[in-house]
């Protein structure tokens, strides 16, 4: 078993005692850091950055040089699987991701290959191995994937969407097509995350960015059911230690009990739910990750500190809390404020772990 100098994050996910609440930030390796913007300019475009193991490693490590974060997260994108399925992913400036060949009908789904993680997605595994080596056991490495529903939204819509008209039309008018697509994606995600674990990821997270656009009934049918399948298919122990699994559905606060019932280890919370309420509902079953509003990072360091205190108070005494933002840090945040946030968590949280 490889030794970790700081395993606070993994311990908190497994509800084991810690000396302070661990903290990391979604999108911590990203555009709010000038050193990231410089490297991205050098790489030429976003996917070139993702597909070069050395550059992906460098971007992953950048925030850890600045801040005493308790985890590193693989620098990649949730759309790697649909890209590897041959849909022609490209990123348009100001437009976000676009697919040249979106999924239109049953034939498109039947023809979709399930990518081999060490072949078509080998660049991701190379990045995981490189990052794990360069971390030298300082902090754990988080691997991740998009959820099948979230990946399907991009694949059917052809990119980002405000109304999700095409995927909802498929869900309600041709559900058999969508279920076949989601099932293929679930199988692909299981292979992908298990390969990340074998390559060195010590914890994995499933990002269900768009589950919150569904009704409660449709959420269970089209999103949660497939995350449930993935959780059941994941390697849960590797290299002599447990591999915790975190599920995060944006705007999913009303479904926490159902999410916890999948057997995952932790739930990510966005900022629209009070952490005290979430803990009262599911706290004995799973750890909780979250959940400060990312926009709070525009406030003064004093105000950020007050917010951290309120969230720590809401969770209360004991382990089982990983401090994070309720979604990703935005590009316009001053890195100094991110530092104030991280330091506040470590400093103020020690009293909750006596």
- Does 31 appear as a known binding residue? yes
> SS3 for 152?
helix
**Claim: this prediction has a pTM higher than 0.85:** yes
- Does 154 appear as a known binding residue? yes
Backbone angles phi, psi at 64, to 5 degrees: -70, -25
pLDDT for 44 equals: 87
Q: How many percent of the chain have pLDDT more than 70? A: 99
Q: Is 108 exposed, middle or buried (0-12, 13-18, 19+ CB in 10 A)?
A: middle
Backbone angles phi, psi at 267, to 5 degrees: -120, 130
CB 158 within 8 Å of CB 102: yes
- Does 209 appear as a known binding residue? yes
pLDDT for 4 equals: 94
Sequence-distant (6+) residues with CB within 8 A of 123 are 50, 51, 52, 53
- Does 202 appear as a known binding residue? no
Token pair of 289 as six digits: 């990750």
- Does 246 appear as a known binding residue? no
pLDDT for 95 equals: 74
CB 266 within 8 Å of CB 228: no
Strand partners, 292: 325
Round to whole Å and give the CA distance between 58 and 65: 10
pLDDT tens per residue, range 249-276: 999 999 999 999 999 999 999 999 999 9
pLDDT for 1 equals: 44
Residues tagged active-site: 27, 31, 40, 77, 154
Count of CA atoms in the C-beta half-sphere (13 A) of 89: 21
Q: Which residues of the chain have pLDDT under 70?
A: 1-2
pLDDT for 80 equals: 96
Sequence-distant (6+) residues with CB within 8 A of 46 are 40, 77, 91
* CATH numbers and ranges of domains, the chain: 43-66+71-235 (3.20.20.210)
pLDDT for 91 equals: 85
Round to whole Å and give the CA distance between 346 and 156: 42
Q: Which of 320, 237, 236 is nearest to 285 (CA)?
A: 320
Strand partners, 238: 241
């Amino acid at each position: 078993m490889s030794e970790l100098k700081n395993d606070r994050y993994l311990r908190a996910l497994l509800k084991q005692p810690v000396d302070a609440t661990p903290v990391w930030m979604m999108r911590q390796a990203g555009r709010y850091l000038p050193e990231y913007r410089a490297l991205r300019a050098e790489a030429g475009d976003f996917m070139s950055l993702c597909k070069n193991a050395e550059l992906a490693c460098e971007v992953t490590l950048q925030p850890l040089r600045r801040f005493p974060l308790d985890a590193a997260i693989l620098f990649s994108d949730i759309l790697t699987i649909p890209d590897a399925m041959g849909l022609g992913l490209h990123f348009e400036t100001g437009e976000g991701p676009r697919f040249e060949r979106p999924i239109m009908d049953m034939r498109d789904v039947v023809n979709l290959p399930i990518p081999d993680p060490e072949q078509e997605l080998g660049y991701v595994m190379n990045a995981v191995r490189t990052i794990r080596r360069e971390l030298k056991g300082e902090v754990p490495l988080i691997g991740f994937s998009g959820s099948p529903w979230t990946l399907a939204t991009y694949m059917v819509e052809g990119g980002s969407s405000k109304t999700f008209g095409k995927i909802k039309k498929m869900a309600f008018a041709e559900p058999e097509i969508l279920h076949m697509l989601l099932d293929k994606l679930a199988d692909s995600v299981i292979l992908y995350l298990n390969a990340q674990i074998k390559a060195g990821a010590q914890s994995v997270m499933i990002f269900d960015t768009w589950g919150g656009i569904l009704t409660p009934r449709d959420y269970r049918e089209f999103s949660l059911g497939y995350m449930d399948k993935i959780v059941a298919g994941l390697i849960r122990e590797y290299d002599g230690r447990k591999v915790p699994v975190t599920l995060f559905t944006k705007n999913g606060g009303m479904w926490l009990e159902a999410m916890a019932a999948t057997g995952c280890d932790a739930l990510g919370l966005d900022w629209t739910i009070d952490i005290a309420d979430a803990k009262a509902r599911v706290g004995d079953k799973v750890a909780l990750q979250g959940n400060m509003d990312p926009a709070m990072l525009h406030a003064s360091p004093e105000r950020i500190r007050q917010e951290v205190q309120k969230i720590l108070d809401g969770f209360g005494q004991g382990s089982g809390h990983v401090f994070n933002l309720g979604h990703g840090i935005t590009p316009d945040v001053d890195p100094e404020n991110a530092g104030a946030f991280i330091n506040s968590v470590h400093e103020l949280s020690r009293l909750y772990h006596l």
